[in-house]
Structure 1
Amino acid sequence: MKDTLLALGIKKRNKQINMSWQEIADQSDGLFTSGENFRCWVKEQLRKKGELKSKGVVVEKATLPNYKETVEINKDGSHTSDKLLTMSAEQCKDVEYLLKAHGYDTKAWELVSARNNIWNVYSKVDGVQTLYSSKISVKPRKEVLSLEYIREVFDEMSSNYKLPTFNPVRYNADGKMLEVNISDLHLGKIADLSTSNDTYNHEIARNRFFHVINDVITRTSHYKFEKILFIYSQDFFHHEGLSTSTTSGTKMETDLRWNELFKMGVQMLVEAIDILSQVAPVETIYIESNHDRQISYYAIEYLYAWFRNNPNVTVDNSPLSRKYIEFGKNLIGFAHGHNEKKRLAFLMPTEAKEAWSRTEYREFHLGHLHSEQSVTEQNGIIVRHISSVTGTDTWHHSQGFVGSQKKAQSFVYDRDLGLLDVLHINV
């Protein structure tokens, strides 16, 4: 009884309740005859405990449980957060409140499950408090770009975009095929000398991207091409967008907001295709990868709509994770390479049976490793890992993945003679 009265008296001294000293004394079942008597008793109790301050305000010494707050990052990209929270019964059922209370952006994360257990805690100032042991599971939202936003970017670019000036002089219907391959650009990645011994950002990425295109065009001026195969869709974007995470949910450091990332990316791709299509007809394809599987698919749909009436541009927007291009006696397969591993050599003759029977020169071009690995031949298929012009970020530096040459590779094919030339474009 006295503990409860003391807690009320402390609240009265701290002006936390509107009751008078007499009203509190009247609830003491005769322990105190007057409000003044009760006030003096409270003051004496605080003096004995050493908790009385000169201005009459009590220093709170709450007895809180030894609660260990934790955040777990799971293999599937989801998070499990466990915290001790002060909230009401209504707030326990409020999804948005729970996400914010655990520190998650409601636009980037969605609640999977929640469990809240009551903890009754005694405080000398507030008496018994009701806290909640709150444990939630969350996962990154998959819908990172709305159709509305993509439409806005499309309309804005349609009204402002100007075709790059370039004179097409080398088209030849019976010529050769040029593959311009810019794998693993990672637009939106940030790298700093102080943490990764390298510098990289969206401006550097853009400059390197167009340097590769211009260098390839210049160095192949002695060829006439029947078509250009433009390969970019292998981690072109560093992250999926709004969540700034990879497709599986791993958080990435970035220098671009999700909307700026998408807008800049599609503008670069449209400009690149326009430049290449003035040399020869262009074909580009979607390839599934581990950093940007979703946002890259939105980008290919954007390109499909943008060039829908352009007879010199073909856009393959099929969501298949692997693609095969047949050109004369050549069959080239494309995959990111993060899933297939040693199965590649047996996939081509199964997935592209008819083209396999018609061709003699067969290759697989893979990204993902950011470096030119040893070229191998498996089951009659030459397997190449394509280099990257991207920078070395903090994670790659900490793991020791350093020293790879920053370059891109492009390839010239003859319909009958196969691969004629490999160009290495250093940056």
Structure 2
Amino acid sequence: MTMAIDQTLLSYSTARQREYLEAIETHGSERKAAEAMGVARGTLSNAIAALKAKSAKMGYAPDCDMTHIVPDGFRVRGVSTYYDDEGKPRGQWVKSVEDRDRMEVIMREAFAAMAETLPRVHAAPGPVKVDESLCNLYTFTDSHVGALAWHREGGHDWDLKIAEQTLVAAFAHMVQAAPSAKVGFINQLGDFLHSDGSNGLMPVTPMHGHILDQDGRYAKVVATAIRVLRRIVDFALEKHEQVVVLLAEGNHDISSSIWLRAMFSALYENEPRVTVIQSELPYYVYQHGKTMLAFHHGHLRKNQDLPLLFAAQFPKVWGETTKRVCHVGHRHHTEEKEHSGMTVVQHPTLAARDAYAARGGWFAERSATVISYHTEYGQVARNTVCPEMFEEAA
């Protein structure tokens, strides 16, 4: 005796669960199927139960009169079924909510596909002479491209035009002031975009949905962000033999950081002098001789916790280095302190205070810094810029 497979249920199954379903169909029961496959009946039953639980989250549980499936990227939050006097379902209300884990998978796939169609940048000639022992670390954090700030609230204006002019001018100045190092490391440390676009393109924070002051539509924000980063990378290629690009995850641009990494990896895949750091975790590391450079936006772990985290996660790099520095942002102000064998440098932002920061009473000097690291001696030079330098020049 055979049992027909529920084809809808089959569409949610893993390869192993599919084997179990096919065995049940062939042998007529879970007990016989388990015996034929040489597994415990409980193992098979648990696998089928897990499959049914998964399909129920998508709105499919026919034993409970749930047959309305929600789209991919969502999960069922609740189902209300109305029955007639004979106990037959007459109507149903299905409430769904975004499935963040699945949505992230979908977005990663979309970003990778998008990057496949981008025109590639061809290799360009590098500088004639560089210092082989140096790495210049150009740090930009919390740039909040797309934010809208008003000087009567926060002291300074900030919009898409100002952000682009300020960031490009700051980088050009730092490149000119820094030594001719072999490696130019573009440390974009997170919150580069003010909003993420993951909540229906609305200007809200991705995790909590807080409303943000934004200048223009998300498409304009994206175009400006890409244009700024392209110019920065191209400037760096003129100065340095090797260019390393970090596009870190921040709490404002969790998904945007994913497509930025995918896009810039594709854009410069034909330029062997450019390396875009790829990491699924928001903890990044780069080894320059005896110097360990670690990076985290700062939204998930406190500064004093980072040294032990990086020692545990990157033990080989930790063991091969004697100078260790972790760079963070997130808090929009400067702090530098040694913790457990590593100096943690908290960087400020070039962006102006928005209404939220102004009303909260938070003040901080606005600046960006290029730090030069030696393969043997660690930090050997530092140069800082502030927005006022470029306002006067204009």
TM-score, normalised by the number of residues in structure 2: 0.67
| Structure with the largest fraction of helix | 2
1:239 is the counterpart of 2:195: yes
Contact 1:286–1:318 (8 Å) recurs in 2: no
Mark the CA change 1:152 to 1:344 in structure 2 (over 3 Å): closer, same or farther.
closer
Contact 1:185–1:390 (8 Å) recurs in 2: yes
1:326 is the counterpart of 2:284: no
The CA RMSD measured in Å over matched residues stands at: 3.4
Give the letter aligned to residue 265 of structure 1: A
State the partner residue of 2:347. 386
1:202 is the counterpart of 2:164: no
Contact 1:180–1:411 (8 Å) recurs in 2: yes
1:254 is the counterpart of 2:210: no
- Alpha-carbon distance between aligned partners in 1 of 2:288 and 2:112, rounded to the nearest angstrom: 33
- Alpha-carbon distance between aligned partners in 2 of 1:113 and 1:355, rounded to the nearest angstrom: 48
Q: How far apart are residue 358 of structure 1 and its match?
A: 1.4
Which consecutive unaligned segments of at least 5 residues does structure 1 have? 1-93, 97-105, 118-133
Contact 2:193–2:252 (8 Å) recurs in 1: yes
Q: How far apart are residue 197 of structure 1 and its match?
A: 3.6
Q: Give the stretch that moved more between structures: 288-297 or 243-252.
A: 243-252
Mark the CA change 1:228 to 1:296 in structure 2 (over 3 Å): closer, same or farther.
same
SS in 2 for 1:278: helix
User: How big is each residue's C-alpha offset from its partner over 1:374-402, in whole Å with a ceiling of 9 and x where there is no partner?
Assistant: x1111121111011101111111111113
Q: How far apart are residue 287 of structure 1 and its match?
A: 2.2
State the partner residue of 2:329. 367
Q: Which has the higher contact order (CA 8 A, sep 6+)?
A: 2
Mark the CA change 1:354 to 1:167 in structure 2 (over 3 Å): closer, same or farther.
closer
Q: How far apart are residue 337 of structure 1 and its match?
A: 1.1
Give the letter aligned to residue 213 of structure 2: E
1:217 is the counterpart of 2:179: no
User: How big is each residue's C-alpha offset from its partner over 1:337-375, in whole Å with a ceiling of 9 and x where there is no partner?
Assistant: 1211132121122112111121111111100011112x1
Q: How far apart are residue 253 of structure 1 and its match?
A: 1.9
SS in 2 for 1:158: coil
2:233 to 251, 255, 273: 273
Give the letter aligned to residue 195 of structure 2: H
Contact 2:143–2:350 (8 Å) recurs in 1: yes
Computing the radius of gyration over CA atoms, which structure comes out larger, 1 or 2?
A: 1
- Alpha-carbon distance between aligned partners in 1 of 2:293 and 2:128, rounded to the nearest angstrom: 23
Contact 2:154–2:352 (8 Å) recurs in 1: no
- Alpha-carbon distance between aligned partners in 1 of 2:163 and 2:74, rounded to the nearest angstrom: 28
- Alpha-carbon distance between aligned partners in 2 of 1:213 and 1:152, rounded to the nearest angstrom: 28
Contact 2:333–2:349 (8 Å) recurs in 1: yes
Percent of aligned pairs sharing the same letter: 19
Contact 1:233–1:296 (8 Å) recurs in 2: no
Give the letter aligned to residue 245 of structure 1: V
State the partner residue of 1:15. none
State the partner residue of 1:263. 223
Q: How far apart are residue 236 of structure 1 and its match?
A: 0.6
Mark the CA change 1:162 to 1:249 in structure 2 (over 3 Å): closer, same or farther.
farther
Which consecutive unaligned segments of at least 5 residues does structure 2 have? 1-67, 83-92, 388-394
SS in 1 for 2:119: helix
Give the letter aligned to residue 371 of structure 1: H
SS in 2 for 1:363: strand
Mark the CA change 1:152 to 1:349 in structure 2 (over 3 Å): closer, same or farther.
closer
SS in 2 for 1:176: strand
Number of positions where the alignment pairs a residue of Structure 1 with one of Structure 2? 301
Q: Give the stretch that moved more between structures: 134-143 or 185-194.
A: 134-143
- Alpha-carbon distance between aligned partners in 2 of 1:195 and 1:139, rounded to the nearest angstrom: 35
Contact 2:147–2:354 (8 Å) recurs in 1: yes
- Alpha-carbon distance between aligned partners in 2 of 1:207 and 1:114, rounded to the nearest angstrom: 51
1:335 to 263, 283, 296: 296
Contact 1:175–1:224 (8 Å) recurs in 2: no
User: How big is each residue's C-alpha offset from its partner over 1:244-289, in whole Å with a ceiling of 9 and x where there is no partner?
Assistant: 2223033322113222222322222122111101111101124222
1:400 to 348, 358, 361: 361
SS in 2 for 1:314: strand
- Alpha-carbon distance between aligned partners in 2 of 1:382 and 1:150, rounded to the nearest angstrom: 36
Mark the CA change 1:198 to 1:405 in structure 2 (over 3 Å): closer, same or farther.
same
2:143 to 181, 185, 194: 185
- Alpha-carbon distance between aligned partners in 2 of 1:264 and 1:190, rounded to the nearest angstrom: 14
